[in-house]
Structure 1
Amino acid sequence: MKRLLATLALTLFAAGTAFAADTLTFPARNGNVTFPHKMHQELLKDCKSCHEKGPGKIEGFGKDFAHKTCKGCHEQMKKGPTRCGECHKK
């Protein structure tokens, strides 16, 4: 768990630059999660949809955030993955 959190923190720190990575990969025990960041930027057009304080690290980001916020948005928009295996790939 500590390794996962350290990896997530490092990944988010690297993504917090002005030119965020096109795709981010988050390691998870039940399969890595690949996040198409650029696609979300182009679709949502407002960083504050996910980043409350603007571009950069998402405060409190982790499994609980993703399962509530990301999945909730996908359900609300009726678009995007909502089942475990749709995000987690082994």
Structure 2
Amino acid sequence: MKMIIYLLIFSMFTTSVAMAADTIVFPSKSGNITFNHKRHIDFLRNCKNCHEKAPGKIVNFGKDYAHKTCKGCHEIRGTGPTRCGHCHVK
């Protein structure tokens, strides 16, 4: 019985990762931001780098989160966009 429960939990986790959109577009007054989710999954390999608990919507995601967390990660790793026009495209 425990094995069945573990398999159900595992399948729920892997299904949510598999069903995640490859590309997400976030509307913005400064120009829409196209986010390549698949590329981040392939590069980071750990959902908890961005998601607090597990795959799914990021709590409090918005301008402040993106400018601090996303841009900060790009600056630390030395890869990815760090300037306004690199993310915001009109």
Q: Same fold, TM exceeding 0.5?
A: yes
Match in the other structure for 1:32:
32
TM-score, normalising length from structure 2? 0.80
Give the alignment of 1:68-83 within 5 angstroms.
68-83=68-83
Encode CA deviations 1:45-76: one digit per residue, 9 max, x unaligned: 00000001110010110000000000000000
Q: Distance in 1 between matches of 2:38 and 2:44?
A: 10
Aligned with 1:52: secondary structure? coil
Query: Shift of residue 32 of structure 1?
Result: 0.0
Number of equivalences: 74
Q: Which has the larger radius of gyration?
A: 2
Match in the other structure for 2:9:
none
State the one-letter code of the partner of 2:26.
F
Query: Shift of residue 42 of structure 1?
Result: 0.5
Identical columns (%): 65
Match in the other structure for 1:89:
89
TM-score, normalising length from structure 1? 0.80
